[in-house]
Structure 1
Amino acid sequence: MARQLRPVGIDFVGEAPVRLVFAREISASPERVFEALAEDVPGWTEWFSAVTYARPAGGGARREIHLRGGARFQETILAAQRPGLYAYRVDTTNVPGVRAMAEEWHLAPAGTGTRVRWTVAADGAAPFRLALALARWGLGLSFRGAVTSLDRRLAAR
C-alpha cells in the first residue's frame, strides 16, 4: 500500500535526521553524468542494478521508480541544475515507517572527470531510521557499483 510522505524541500537534504552520503570519482564529465541522471531516467535500469523500473512522469517534473526487492517510489524533482545538481523527494512509497525522504546527486569537476556525491536524507519511525542506518554499507556498495557501471556505460557511447 502506498503511503503519502511529508513534502520536503531541497533544504531537507542537509537537515534530515538520517543522512547517508557517498562519493566517488569517475572519468565521465559532469555534463554527461547529469544527462544520465536527469534526462535519461529510463536508462537508470541499465547502470543502477537496484533500479528495476524508472520512468519520467508529469512532463519530467516527477519520476516513478521501482527497486529490486519491491520498493516503489513516486518522486518530485526538486532541482535539476545543469551540470552540478539533481535532487528529488519521495512523495509516495510502499516502504513502511518512512515519513519524509529526499535524495541529492551533486556533481563537481575532478580533474578531467567528475566527483559524484549521493546523499540519501530521510525521516521516519525509529525502526525505519535504524534500518536505514544499518543499510549504510549495502547502500554504499550499491552506489559504488552504480557509478562505476554508469562510467563504463558513458565511456562506451
Structure 2
Amino acid sequence: MARRLRPVEIDFVRAAPVRLVFARQISAAPEQVFRALAEDVPGWTRWFSAVTLARATDGGAGREIRLRGGTRFEETILAAKAPEVYAYRVDTTNAPGVRALVEEWCLTPQGTGTRVQWTFAADGTAPFRFVLGLARAGLGRAFRDAMTSLDRLLARR
C-alpha cells in the first residue's frame, strides 16, 4: 500500500538523518549525463538495472519509478539545473518505514568526462535506518554498475 511521505525540500539532502553518498567518474560529458538523468526518464531502464519502469509525470514535473522487487515511487522534481544538478523527492511509496526521501545527482566536469555524485538522503523509522545502513554496500554497487552502463550507452551515441 502506498504511503505519503513528508514533503521535504532540496535542503533535506544536507540535513537528512541518513545520507549515503556515492561518486564515480565517467567519460561522458556533463551535458550528456544530465540529458540521460533528467530528459530521457524512460531511458533509466536501459542503464540502471534496478529500475523496471520510469516515466515522467505532470508534464515533466514528476516521475513514476518502479524497481525490481515491486517497490514503487511517485516523485516530484526539486531541481533540474542543466548540466549540474538533478534532484527529486519521493512523495509516495510502498517501501516500509521511510518517512522522507530525496535523491540528488551532482555533475561536475572532470577532464573531458564527468564526476557523478549521487546522494541518497532519507529519514524513517529506526528499523528502516538500520536496514539502509546495511544496504549501503549494495546501493554503492548498484550505483557503480549503473554508471558503467550509462557510460557505455552514452559512448555509443
Q: Indicate the TM-score class for this superposition, using the shorter chain for normalisation.
A: over 0.9
1:118-129 correspondence runs (5 A): 118-129=118-129
CA distance in 1, matches of 2:87, 2:133: 21
CA distance in 2, matches of 1:3, 1:121: 18
Q: Secondary structure at the match of 2:131?
A: helix
Q: Secondary structure at the match of 1:83?
A: coil
* Count of paired positions: 157
Deviations 1:92-121 (A, max 9, x none): 000000000000000000110000000000
Q: CA deviation at 1:9?
A: 0.4
Q: Which residue of 1 aligns with 2:94?
A: 94
Runs of 4 or more, structure 1, over 2 Å off, are none
Deviations 1:71-98 (A, max 9, x none): 1000000000000000000000000000
CA distance in 2, matches of 1:100, 1:54: 20
Query: What TM-score comes out, normalization by structure 1 length?
Result: 1.00
CA distance in 1, matches of 2:37, 2:106: 11
Q: Please, which runs of 5 or more residues in structure 1 have no aligned partner? A: none
Q: Which residue of 2 aligns with 1:132?
A: 132
Q: In structure 1, what residue type is equivalent to 2:71? A: A
> RMSD of aligned C-alpha atoms?
0.3
Q: Which residue of 2 aligns with 1:113?
A: 113
Say whether residues 1:46 and 2:46 are aligned partners: yes
In percent, how many aligned pairs have the same letter?
75
Q: Which residue of 2 aligns with 1:61?
A: 61
Q: Which residue of 2 aligns with 1:33?
A: 33
Q: Secondary structure at the match of 1:70?
A: coil
Q: In structure 2, what residue type is equivalent to 1:142? A: A
CA distance in 2, matches of 1:131, 1:99: 14
Q: Please, which runs of 5 or more residues in structure 2 have no aligned partner? A: none
Query: What TM-score comes out, normalization by structure 2 length?
Result: 1.00
CA distance in 2, matches of 1:133, 1:13: 16
Q: In structure 2, what residue type is equivalent to 1:39? A: E
Q: Secondary structure at the match of 1:138?
A: helix
CA distance in 2, matches of 1:75, 1:65: 8
Q: In structure 2, what residue type is equivalent to 1:119? A: T
Q: In structure 2, what residue type is equivalent to 1:9? A: E
